[in-house]
Structure 1
Amino acid sequence: MTVTENANLAVSDTGTDTGTRASTRTGAALRLRGLRRSFGSAVALDGLDLDVAPGEFLALLGPSGCGKTTALRVLAGFERPDEGQVLLDGEDIVPVPANRRDTAMVFQSYSLFPHLTAADNVAFGLRMRKVRGAERRARAAELLDLVGLAGYGDRFPHQLSGGQQQRVALARALALRPRLLLLDEPLSALDARVRVTLREEIRRLQLELGITTVFVTHDQEEALSMADRVAVMNGGRLEQCATPTELYECPATDFVAEFIGTMNRVPGRAVDGGGRVEALGVTLPVQEPDGRSGDVTVLLRPEALEVTTDGPARVTGVSFHGPTTRLRIALPDGTDVKADVSTHAAAGLTPGTAVSVRPRQRPVLLAAAPTGGAV
């Protein structure tokens, strides 16, 4: 797709004069119902159902090939589903062409016109709608100020940094006050410091404007730090859609438990009708008892492990993370686990140090079967 095509599609045309709209508005309600999309024998979406509340910021997260990008392209109108509906405020927009949907999209590659200034790029969609020149220029200046680029309107894209170009792309998407904002990994091409700053700015703007937003990313930190809820996808299906805290603390499936953050898998034995489990010498409550007994695999976060000096286990690796340090530890049975301890407590715990590892007393999740090893 060319830069021109991307820019044209980035701001959809509904034929509405933006001058008649309020400066802020409540976002649209979005519902996906039974979305299916295949490419030959490859199934990209397999009956996806998802609700997004008005003004909500939803992140689509998952491994490569999980279907998150296909879902976003269906929302934008770049892909037509084989089956299913996309309901925007109750209206099925699947038959509506991409350039006629009241949506806006920010791309990973910025997609700015190189021959236009920042202000003209922002005003591009307004010019296509034949908004008057003075109003168009005022709106562009307002949006550039909103994204922190006041005074940059006369600069061309090659005179801007990557982060500044992405701010211009965001301002262009917001210029038409869309009901739905779509973000296609807009931060992945930026360096780490700029990514952190810009994700905070995007979230601030989204909250201020109240626009319903769907954000595709492969970066867990971005998803968990920005979104109201995160939809974790796998194999074209929705594994779980919940708040970041709920995803981390109460994952609904083994896949979510091991995909979000870091998870250790250690052998254990379910007792008391599956309500409790014995692991690493400690008896722990099971978060969601399923009646199993006997050998199971216990899922433990690194911060759920206590480490003390002297014992049968051995430190095999040390990784500094500022206030915390991650230890890699080999247990006597050959299982490797990761434990997060305060950096102060980790002083002296060098590779080869003998240690003991015990789980903290908190409910734990069980996997389907013991496999050993740390994830």
Structure 2
Amino acid sequence: MTDTVPAPPTDAAPRTAGGATVEFRALRRSFGATTALDGLDLTVQPGELLALLGPSGCGKTTALRMLAGFEHPDSGQVLVDGKDVTSTPAHRRDAGMVFQSYSLFPHLSAVDNVAFGLRMRKVGTAERRRRAAELLELVGLPSHADRFPHQLSGGQQQRVALARALALRPRVLLLDEPLSALDAKVRTNLREEIRRLQLELGITTLFVTHDQEEALSMADRVAVMNAGRLEQCAAPAELYDRPATAFVAEFVGTNSRIPGHLADDGYVEVLGRRLPAESGTADGSHGSHGSGGREVDVLVRPEAVTVSADPTGDALVVAAAFLGAVTRVTVRLPDGTDVKADLPSTEAAVLPPGAPVSLSLPDRPVLVAARAA
């Protein structure tokens, strides 16, 4: 039995009044000697799903909690539709929040959990049960209304938590790693459901995650954070294809660092070729460090590397990981550098470990970073 949910009837879906614009302006927050946010500037457009992505401790959850009203900045502002809500209590902010732990009331049924916020707002019994029933249908659990949390699977409990967050028809939905406690199959199904609901309701949504696959598959834009600062905010394809910094390039997707020489003219000599350095290259260098340039690393995605059998080649295949239609081949250069390449499995089959090969890169700009220590 899976947690796959059929699409609900369209007339069951409560409608929001439209998503809100959310702005973080120069937010700073420290906890003792630890800087959680270091001048965060970020705008979320109405109806957009924006993922805050980054490693543990990067500040993404702190930013979300500031929007919810659970944390307050040392300086800076949080605005919703142009209104400064920095000092507004959490219960007066038009936001619904779903946590990593489902946080359901164990003594209440699913329908009563969903209706809880409506009861606190003095909505009549009949109306709140009607709206709670609509929301349970929206999340695919109409037959589970009378079940208690211990009678529900993890995915079902998280759906109830999502319905509860939507019950008050918030203009902003906040999701704090809501899928991390679920197994892989349920997590995949539920992230698809969250995205479907978000699009259907048109609600502005911030989604905190450290899982790049979740962020790239769900979000309109992804904001990558590191040590309290925003590294880059862009659509998933742009983030992957044109990372603004070395951190983004290596945190999102897989890269190999290949030694190269950055010349004064902005070209990089790598694997026997001269290629232009990407505009705004990762460490901000364009060969302006004196006559003769300097040694750098070139960051290369595995799908950009071409591997050819070559009896005279000075690189060797050292490993191959079968991934279905694609096989990820690891090739070792003479200096000991390992380069990953994604090849069609039919091509990789004739390149067993130990096979001599040659490598090449496409004729396009490459991202350059400071040489790794």
TM-score when normalising by structure 1: 0.90
- Amino acid aligned to 1:308: S
Q: What is the match of residue 298 of structure 1?
A: 298
Structure 1: gaps (5+ residues): 1-21
- CA distance in structure 2 between the partners assigned to 1:174 and 1:159 by the alignment: 22
Matches within 5 A, 1:138-287: 138-271=130-263, 273-274=265-266, 276-287=267-278
User: SS at the partner of 1:44?
Assistant: strand
- Amino acid aligned to 1:191: D
**Contact 1:104–1:180 at 8 Å: present in 2 too?**
yes
Moved over 6 A (4+): none
Q: Could you tell me how far 1:233 is from its partner in structure 2? A: 0.6
- CA distance in structure 1 between the partners assigned to 2:263 and 2:26 by the alignment: 40
**Contact 1:264–1:300 at 8 Å: present in 2 too?**
yes
Pair 1:41 & 2:33 matched: yes
- CA distance in structure 2 between the partners assigned to 1:307 and 1:240 by the alignment: 31
- CA distance in structure 1 between the partners assigned to 2:192 and 2:244 by the alignment: 28
- CA distance in structure 1 between the partners assigned to 2:275 and 2:49 by the alignment: 36
User: Once structures 1 and 2 are overlaid, which stretch shifts more, 294-303 or 61-70?
Assistant: 294-303
- CA distance in structure 1 between the partners assigned to 2:86 and 2:205 by the alignment: 18
Of 97, 106, 112, the residue aligned with 2:98 is 106
**Contact 1:36–1:47 at 8 Å: present in 2 too?**
yes
Q: What is the match of residue 348 of structure 2?
A: 346
Q: What is the match of residue 337 of structure 1?
A: 339
Distance 1:280 1:108, change over 3 A: same
User: SS at the partner of 1:247?
Assistant: helix
Q: Could you tell me how far 1:74 is from its partner in structure 2? A: 1.0
User: SS at the partner of 2:186?
Assistant: helix
TM-score when normalising by structure 2: 0.90
Q: What is the match of residue 325 of structure 2?
A: 323
Q: Could you tell me how far 1:103 is from its partner in structure 2? A: 0.7
Q: What is the match of residue 118 of structure 1?
A: 110
Structure 2: gaps (5+ residues): 1-13, 288-292
Q: Could you tell me how far 1:294 is from its partner in structure 2? A: 4.0
- CA distance in structure 1 between the partners assigned to 2:353 and 2:160 by the alignment: 49
Q: Deviations over 1:186-238 (max 9, x none)?
A: 00000111111100100010011011111100000000110111111111011
- CA distance in structure 2 between the partners assigned to 1:136 and 1:287 by the alignment: 56
- CA distance in structure 1 between the partners assigned to 2:273 and 2:20 by the alignment: 50
What is the identity percentage for the equivalent residue pairs of Structure 1 and Structure 2?
69
Q: Could you tell me how far 1:360 is from its partner in structure 2? A: 2.0
**Contact 2:329–2:340 at 8 Å: present in 1 too?**
yes
CA RMSD of aligned residues (A): 1.4
